[in-house]
Amino acid sequence: MSFLRSYSGGLLIVSHDLELLDSAITRVLHLDNSQMNTYKGTYSQYREARAADVERRNKIANIQEADIQRLKTLADRMRHQTASRARVAKNLDKRVEKMRATKVTRVAKESAVRFRISPPPQPGRLVMRVQNLAMSYGEHKVFDRLSFEVTHGDRLLVMGLNGAGKSTLLKILSETIEPVSGTVAPGMNVSLGYYAQEHEGLRPEEAVIDHLRSDGVLIDQQIRAFLGMFTLSGDKAFQNAGTLSGGEKTKLALAQLAAKQHNLLLLDEPTNNLDPISREGITNALQSWQGTLMIVSHDEAFVHQLQPTHVVSMPDGEYIHWSDDLLELVALA
């Protein structure tokens, strides 16, 4: 990020990293319905300018629509009176047509996205016990003798530098891969859901809607409503998963998790690829969800809003209570 801030050449960036967009850019290109508008300044300044622009355009559109309706009503009233008034009505019709041709298009205001996660069934107090867990790839030891317990309602953040084994740990806990040694014991009545950072669970040649159909949790009408909540509505529901953008794949994977009644979620970088509005939506949904969470994330704002209860520091496996002092380490991890 520091390199991009100090780079003296031109940059064209596509990113959802708000910190980057508020520090390294000077102009925003906004694409909407095949039209491009340019806004000077950072991303935050663009948001303010865009909101003011939408309000201004819609105010003009309201005035123009009122003028068009007024002239149309007047023309309709005069049309069947005298011959001279009929000629005036015809001229008014032409004027209305010109006004419609040049009328400012109304712009929809940016609306909040509200995701919903199915209420979790009640587990026992102990959700998971991890004992003496070890993992290696050939001669490379990832971690060794990892032990901790997760209790109901915990919000556990897995921290560590790149390569420390954070994603590997979640894959082991979700039974996606086997450890070299050690045990993972889920508690009583635990239903585990796993979000993989690379969307390995998605089937590229299968339609979006069929991903939720195959789970057998919802009927078609409920599925369409659920996909709509995750902004995968209309024709998007019938696209193959492999044709989706990175953000849309993230939404589909999260929708699959949210539809099921899990009470333990393992989430590996769940906000990656999400636009700011969707990221806020999933953050709010997880904040109010009453289940147990284990999360890997480099997203400081997301972690801060989620307020973890505990941390597992990788690769040594130190298990500690969360403190806001740790927040500055999140982006470095």
Sorted by where each starts, the structural domains of the chain and their CATH numbers stand as 1-109 (no CATH), 126-330 (3.40.50.300)
φ, ψ for residue 166 (rounded to 5)?
-65, -55
pTM assigned to the model = 0.77
Pair of tokens at residue 112: 């909040």
Count of beta carbons in the 10 Å neighbourhood of residue 282? 22
Beta-strand pair 310-313/155-159 = parallel
φ, ψ for residue 129 (rounded to 5)?
-120, 125
Asked if 168 and 135 count as a contact pair (C-beta separation under 8 A), the reply is yes
Strands annotated E in the chain? 27-32, 35-40, 126-137, 140-151, 155-159, 181-186, 192-195, 264-268, 292-296, 310-313, 318-321
φ, ψ for residue 35 (rounded to 5)?
-115, 145
Count of beta carbons in the 10 Å neighbourhood of residue 202? 19
Asked if 11 and 23 count as a contact pair (C-beta separation under 8 A), the reply is no
- Amino acid present at 225: A
From first to last of its 333 residues, the chain has per-residue pLDDT tens of 677 777 878 888 888 777 788 888 889 998 877 778 899 999 889 888 988 988 998 999 999 999 999 999 998 888 888 888 888 888 999 999 999 988 888 877 766 778 889 899 999 999 999 999 999 998 889 999 999 999 999 999 999 988 889 999 999 999 999 999 999 999 999 999 999 988 888 999 999 999 888 877 778 788 888 888 888 988 898 999 999 988 899 999 999 998 888 999 999 999 988 888 888 999 999 999 999 999 999 988 899 999 999 999 998 888 999 988 888 888 776
3-class DSSP state of 324: helix
Sequence-separated (6 or more) residues with CB below 8 Å from residue 12: none
C-alpha distance across the termini of the chain, in Å: 15
